[in-house]
Amino acid sequence: MYYRLSAVMFPIVTLLLIGALIWGYQENQQKNSILIKAENQYQRAFHDLSYHMDKLHNELGNTLAVNSTSQAMQRKGLLNVWRITSEAQSEINQLPLTLMPFNQAEDFLSRISKFSYQTAMRDMNKEPLSVKEVNNLKSLYKSSGEISNNLQKVQNKVINNNLRWMDVEAAIASEHKAQDNTIIDGFKTVDKQSGEYSDLDWGPTISNVYDRRAARKLDGIPMTAEQIKRKALKFANSSGRGTFTKVQVIENGKGTEWSSYTATAYANHKGEKISMDFTRRGGLLISYVDHRNVGPKAVSVSTARSKADTFLKQKGYPHMTAVAYDEYGNLGNFTYVRKQDDVLIYPEKITVRVALDNGDVVGFQASDFIYEHKDNRKIPKPKLTLEQARKVLNPEYKEEYHRLSLIKNEMSQEVLCYEFGGRINGSRYRIFVNSNTGNEEVVEEIKSHNRR
């Protein structure tokens, strides 16, 4: 009997064993194939990064080499600097550096990109490079050369020692710090070196982009965690979502000028919770998220907007106008901007999210409003009439509405514009025409609001 049983089972077990070995071999091969592809991608991105940093150094040198009156060549050189820097930033994003400090180098490249683009896009015949900007380019030329040399040293070690980026990824993800990893040490050196160039005078236009906006957040008395807890409880219990008694408060960026609090309020039933962010100074509400499940869509867009309007008025934002709507699944997102003297102030923006099952507000984002708001903001008078500004539009553009709007242009400067909404080529657009110069500052396509 046992002989017969073994005679039957032996071939079956053998086949299963062979099948398992084949499956394991295929899985291992597939895994190795994925690892090889990832390694090849990392190697390509790294060597391209080293190449573009060298090109950046050369292009800055070319821009400095031409005569100061050669505005066309300077503009071409600066556009090349912007293009090369953008490519270098893209390559950094392809490397496994998310858990390793490399923010100073990325910030350095970002500033170069912004500086070169904004300088190149202005009329250099009327506004040529200033002495300060030329000195900036000289400093950038020197510093980019030093960074390029350091990257090339790392590159040589990678090639000569057959170093793998997959080992870097494993080292970064590990809880144990790999102090002797050549690539990690090399990039830390580059990042530290980049931080030493932060004292360059980029001018007010570039600095405003990177220095946190407006001093509004600096106003007000610093709040304690206990005070924020009371604010959070009051807000949560006024939402009509039941009784909230427990609040957890965490301070973000402690000890810095831009510290804030995150408060999470928990309801007594169903495990529901609401999250809120507050500024430390003044205790201003930055954002609010209700984590409840949203049911099937049952209310109209107009009803949802009415609820959002009421919510803003109740929370102390009476002069807000909805300028955009976007729908995702069963949630509707309204973008509001403040209105002053019949002018829309786009920098002072608030986003309100409405649940489309019953119209309740389940999300709120007011960081732009907090940082940009100014009481009694001075709004300039337009130099051009509406008819003069309208002549700039494409003759085929079908205007549906017009209004005055204050926006920030690509130079981060506030400009008063005539905003024209309309259609062309089967799509809807908003076109902002500078009310002083007649230039088209922004052209924005208005997408269909339904997304799934």
Listed in sequence order, the residues at least 6 apart from 199 whose beta carbon sits closer than 8 Å to its beta carbon are: none
Domain ranges of the chain: 11-210, 218-372, 386-451
CB–CB of 333/301 below 8 Å?
Answer: no
Specify burial of residue 332 (Cβ count, 10 A radius: 0-12, 13-18, 19+): buried
8 Å CB contact between 159 and 72: no
Dihedral sign, Cα of residue 148, residue 151, residue 156, residue 162 = negative
Closest C-alpha to 334, from 353, 311, 315, 356:
353
In this structure, whether the domain defined by 386-451 belongs to CATH 1.20.120 is answered with no
Helix ranges (H only) for 94-217 are 103-121, 131-160, 165-173, 182-195, 203-210
- CA within 13 Å, CB half, 409: 18
Distance CA 167, CA 433 (A): 53
Confidence (pTM): 0.65
What per-residue string of b and e applies to 183-221 under the rule 16 or more CB within 10 Å gives b? bbebbeebbebbeebeebebeebbebeeeebbebbeeee
Q: In tens digits, what is the pLDDT along the chain, a chain of 452 residues?
A: 555 555 556 566 566 666 666 665 555 565 656 667 777 777 888 888 888 888 888 888 888 887 777 788 888 888 888 889 888 888 877 777 654 556 677 777 888 888 888 888 777 888 888 888 888 888 888 888 888 888 888 788 777 777 776 666 566 555 544 444 666 667 777 677 666 555 555 554 555 544 444 434 446 788 899 999 999 888 888 766 667 888 899 888 776 666 788 999 888 766 678 899 998 888 888 898 988 888 999 999 999 999 999 999 988 888 999 999 988 888 999 999 999 999 999 999 999 999 999 999 999 999 889 888 888 889 999 999 999 999 999 999 999 999 999 998 877 789 999 999 999 988 999 999 999 999 999 898 887 654 44
